[in-house]
Amino acid sequence: MTNSASPAPFPKRRTLRSGSDLVQAGLAEPGRAALIDRAGGIFPVAVTPHLADQMAAGDVLARQFVPEGEELAADAAGRSDPIGDKAHAPLRGIIHRYPDRLLLTPLLVCPAYCRFCFRRESVGQKDAVLSDAELDAALAYIESHPEIWEVILSGGDPLMLPTRRLRAIMARLESIPHVAVIRIHTRVPVLDPARMTLALIGALDSAKAVYAVLHCNHAAELSAETRAACAAVIKAGIPVLSQTVLLAGVNDDAQTLETLLRALVAMRIKPYYLHHPDLAPGTAHFRVPLARGRALMRALRGRLSGLCQPDYVLDIPGGFGKVPVGPDYAVPAGNGWRVTDWRGGTHAYPGGPRDIAGTGPT
Ligand code: SF4
C-alpha cells in the first residue's frame, strides 16, 4: 500500500535538464531554479544520472555543470567564436586550421554541458547533427586533401554517435590512404561511462593509429565507472591521453592539479594539454590569469614526474591556433643563456651568436 501523502520519487535515472530538476535532485537551492532556466535558454543544461550521483551542491562538479549567476552577467572579453573556428570551416563538420590535420565534427551534442564550454554558441544548439549528405561531403573533403595526415573526431562528443554510424565513419577514414592517425576527443567516460560499451569501443577499431583524448578537469571526475571505461579503451589497444581546462574554482591550485595528473598517469593516461580557458561568453568566472597558469606550471615542474607534465597551451583568439605558454626556463643572457632550475635557482649555460639568434641546424 502506498502513502498518497508522500511526494513522487524523483526519477534519478534520467538526465536533469532544468532548474526544477536540479532543485528536486538537491543539486541547487530552490531560489536558483529560474536563474538556471535563464542560463539554460542560452546554453543547454544537462546533468547525467552518473554525474548527479557523484555531485553535491556547490562542489567542483556542480561548479562545472550547474549554472551560476555570473553566467548571465555582462562579459566584455567574451567572444562568440573564441578560437576562431569559423575562419577555418570550409564546410559544415570540418575545421581545417593547420595544414596536416583537421577536426571532423559529426555532431555537436554532449551527454552533459560544461558551463565553460568554448563552443557553447554551437554545441547543444539547433541543427546539432550532420545530415548524411553533410557527413558525406565532410569525408569527401578529407579524401580530396592529401595533406591531411591526422583526423580529430570532435564535436560535441563523437562517442554520442550511434555505434553503427561511428563504425561507418571509422571505416571510411581507414580507407583514405593519406590519413595515418585518427584521434577521438571525448568526455563520455566521465559524463556517462555506461555508454562506453564494448560494442562502442569496438567501433573505434581500425588499421590506422587511433588515439583517444579524455577531457577531465578534476580527480573527482575519476569514478570507479570512469576508470573502468578508460581501462577498457586502453585494453582495446587505444592509447589514451588527457586534456584539462584550467578553471577558477575547480582546479586552479597546484595540489588539485598534482592529484589529478598523478591519478591520470597511474591509470595509464598521459596528460597532453592543460588549456588556458578560452574567451567564451558568460564564462568570465572560470577565467584564470595567464600569469597564474604559468606559476602553477612552474610549481608542478620538479614536484611531478615528467610523465605527468601536460603542455600549458593557449588558443589565440581569431583562429591563429594553439601555442605553448608555459614558463620560460632559458632566456638569453650575454653570450649565452640563463637557465632556471625547478627550485628557482639560476645557472649560466654557454651559447654563441648563432645559438642566440636561433639559426642553428634543425
Ligand atoms: S564536453 Fe567539451 S564540447 Fe561538450 S560541453 Fe563540455 S567542453 Fe563543450
CA distance 258 to 253: 9
CB 264 within 8 A of CB 258: no
Gap from CA of 82 to ligand 1 centroid (Å): 14
CA pair distance 47, 67, nearest whole angstrom:
11
Residue with cell 560494442: 199
Residues framing ligand 1 (Cβ under 6 A): 110, 113-114, 117, 119, 123, 155-157, 187, 215
Q: What average pLDDT does the chain have? A: 94
**CA atoms 311, 314, 315, 320: torsion sign:** negative
> What distance in Å separates the CA atoms of residue 95 and residue 77, rounded to the nearest whole number?
24
pLDDT in tens, 169-206: 999 999 999 999 999 999 999 999 999 999 999 999 99
- Whole-structure pTM value: 0.94
By CB atoms closer than 10 A (0-12, 13-18, 19+), residue 111 is: buried
Residue minimizing CA distance to atom 8 of ligand 1 = 117
Please give the number of the atom of ligand 1 that sits closest to the Cα of 245. Answer: 7
- The closest-lying atom of ligand 1 relative to the alpha carbon of residue 185 is 2
116, 275 contact by CB (below 8 A): no
- Determine which residue's CA is closest to atom 3 belonging to ligand 1: 156
C-alpha cell at 178: 593519406
Amino acid at 271: P
pLDDT at 354 over 90: no
357 — pLDDT class (breaks 50, 70, 90): low
Taking 90 as the threshold, does the pLDDT of residue 15 lie above it?
yes
**Contact assessment for residue 285 and residue 71, using Cβ atoms and an 8 Å cutoff:** yes
Please give the distance of CA 32 from its chain centroid, rounded to a whole number.
27
48 Cα to the center of ligand 1, angstroms: 13
Q: Whose CA is nearest to atom 7 of ligand 1?
A: 117
Catalytic residue numbers, as ranges: 97-98, 101, 110, 114, 117, 119, 278, 315, 322
In whole angstroms, give the CA distance from residue 116 to residue 122: 13
Pick from 66, 117, 118, 217 the residue to mutate for probing ligand 1's pocket: most ligand atoms within 8 Å of its CB: 117
Q: What are the pLDDT digits (tens) for 271-323? A: 999 999 999 999 999 999 999 999 999 999 989 999 999 999 999 999 999 99
Q: Yes or no: say if 289 and 248 are a contact pair by the CB < 8 Å rule.
A: no
Q: Which pLDDT does position 352 carry in this prediction? A: 73
Q: How confident is the model at residue 127 (pLDDT cuts 50, 70, 90)?
A: confident
- Is-contact 282 42, C-beta < 8 A? yes
Question: What values do phi and psi take at 266, rounded to 5?
Answer: -65, -20
